[in-house]
Amino acid sequence: MTAWSKLLVATTRLIDLHDSGHEPGSPFVQVSQESRRGLRDGYWLDLGCLLLDYLLDVDFATNSAFVSQSRCLAQLRETYPDLPHDDLSFVINLLATPSELHFRQLGVEDSAARASRSTKRTALIEKQGQTGQVRLTASGRQAVTLASQVEDLLYSEYDAAKVLAALARGDFARVPDITNQILLAIRGLTQELRRVRENPTREGKLAALLDNQRHYHNALSSIQRTLLDARAQLTAPRLMERFAEWREAEQAASGEEWDLRMLSSAIGRVLTAIENLSRRLAELLADIAEGRIQSMGVVDFADLARGLLNSAPAAALQQALVARLMPLHVQVAVPRMAPLIPLLESRRAETSHAALVFDEQHDAAPEDPLLARFLEARGPALRQRIQREPLSLPAALAEGWHRFEEGDCLAQLLNTFVDTQLLDDRLAVGIDATPFELTLADGRCVRGAVTPSLRLSDQDDPK
């Protein structure tokens, strides 16, 4: 994985959180894998990363001058010989177009004020409108710099020297932050060693450890020497006097209390982590040398179960399985086919992650504003009419119930015959087997194979 890949791995899920449309307070907290568009081959991403790296090199050489697209194309064709200019233009246009990023401002108590912050300074490339020449923006320069700093323990020895620089300058508050950064790199490599012991074929990390094991030892030794020197300086009388003056000024300014043992403890945690990492690295190399590390892949237990069902294993294996897995009393074992069916399926059914909730008590208000006005205006009169006697659809049309606001509400009237609760919960629909045909005043003809009638539940069906 390149430095750009590591940076994207660390920030992708944060982008997913930013783009999420999840409603605050929603009880549906299950998360599915994000469906990402694109060619899924990394082509455009690789072009963009190569272009940004090249623009940073040119930025240093030319003091942030604009670069022609032809020079960028010539540079990228060293990696992609047949790269068309249109592909480069697409990448430049996309990286030069800003996208709005919403965030919340820290230190503001009002939630409305916190939620109103956003920025569009997300374009990584600045493009001239007339000539089409390009250069990095401030955000693009920061992105390339961050990507170049996503490194492993091999480069943390330079961070250890920052502890000495912080002590020399009297910037004691920076010491815990620097040691935590080194500690993160050490713990990251420690976790990689643990994964390699569990699965030596993981991303070729075993070969990388073998190639760089001498460099890792040198880096750990250099970090250890530097931090031991820093911890020894903490006991120097001159440094202790400067720390006492700095502590009083810091407490007066921010009220935060500091102790020299806090710096010594931060350095001691890194030294302890170095000892643990050195021991784990030595054990791994010893296992490799003695042949105790063997490749093991991921076991597909579903496929293994299907294989055992399709073809019987050897007799010795069958006896071992029966002895270890079968119940002690065979007479109470009643096998069923249902648990075995999922093991025999070759494909998993597609699942939908959309949450469907059917709750009639919390139905939303009608989305049709005309229907809402129709029910509000004509609803009371319709209920009084139905209370006298059942109202059939032909009678409702003949009496003009579909006329409203000098317009036609035939669809809204028919809605009351389909969803009777729009008018009253006690209403029901009675069906007469007699067909009907009615011509309206505007010439439209309404026909029906049966005659529906609105009635109250305690009324008799019209027959």
Model confidence over 267-319: pLDDT tens digits?
Answer: 999 999 888 888 888 877 777 666 655 544 455 677 777 787 788 888 888 77
Residues in CB range of 445: below 8 A, 6 or more apart: 437, 438, 439
User: Largest Cα–Cα distance of the chain, in whole Å?
Assistant: 109
Question: What is the SS3 assignment for 4?
Answer: helix
The DSSP-derived string for 234-246 is TT-HHHHHHHHHH
Pair of tokens at residue 352: 């939908």
The continuous run of DSSP H or E covering 408 comes out as: strand 407-408
Pair of tokens at residue 13: 């899920």
pLDDT tens-digit readout, 174-225: 899 888 888 878 877 777 777 776 665 554 566 666 777 778 888 888 889 9
Higher-confidence position of 33 and 106: 33
Question: What is the SS3 assignment for 171?
Answer: coil
| pLDDT score of 90 | 93
Q: Give the residue-averaged pLDDT of 73-90.
A: 93
Residues in CB range of 1: below 8 A, 6 or more apart: 9, 203
Q: What residues does 103 pair with on adjacent strands?
A: 117
| pLDDT score of 336 | 64
Residue 78 pLDDT class (50, 70, 90 cuts): very high
Q: How many CB atoms lie within 10 A of CB 283?
A: 13
C-alpha span between 409 and 386 (Å, rounded): 19
C-alpha span between 411 and 316 (Å, rounded): 76
Q: How confident is the prediction for the chain on average, in pLDDT?
A: 78
| pLDDT at position 49 over 60 | yes
Residue 334 pLDDT class (50, 70, 90 cuts): low
| pLDDT score of 18 | 81
C-alpha span between 54 and 75 (Å, rounded): 8
Within 65-187, strands assigned E span 101-103, 117-119, 125-127, 134-136
| pLDDT score of 462 | 45
Percentage above 90 pLDDT, the chain: 14
| pLDDT score of 358 | 45
| pLDDT score of 445 | 82
Q: Could you give the residue ranges of the DSSP H alpha helices within 20-99?
A: 43-62, 69-76, 85-96
Kindly tell me the number of DSSP H helices and DSSP E strands found in the chain.
Answer: 17, 11
Residue 74 pLDDT class (50, 70, 90 cuts): very high
Residues in CB range of 178: below 8 A, 6 or more apart: 159, 160, 162, 163, 166
Which sequence spans correspond to the domains of the chain?
A: 3-17+39-148, 153-289, 368-456
Pair of tokens at residue 173: 């508050």
C-alpha span between 421 and 428 (Å, rounded): 9
Alpha carbon separation from 442 to 87, 162, 401, 417, 437 (Å, rounded) = 61, 89, 15, 22, 15
The DSSP-derived string for 197-234 is HH-TTGGGHHHHHHHHHHHHHHHHHHHHHHHHHHHHHT
Which of 58-72, 105-119, 204-218 is the least confident region? Answer: 105-119
| pLDDT score of 360 | 47
pLDDT tens-digit readout, 321-332: 777 776 665 555
Residues in CB range of 171: below 8 A, 6 or more apart: none
| pLDDT at position 339 over 90 | no
Residue 367 pLDDT class (50, 70, 90 cuts): low
Residue 337 pLDDT class (50, 70, 90 cuts): low
C-alpha span between 368 and 311 (Å, rounded): 63
Pair of tokens at residue 316: 């010795």
Higher-confidence position of 435 and 116: 435
Higher-confidence position of 457 and 129: 129
Residue 414 pLDDT class (50, 70, 90 cuts): confident
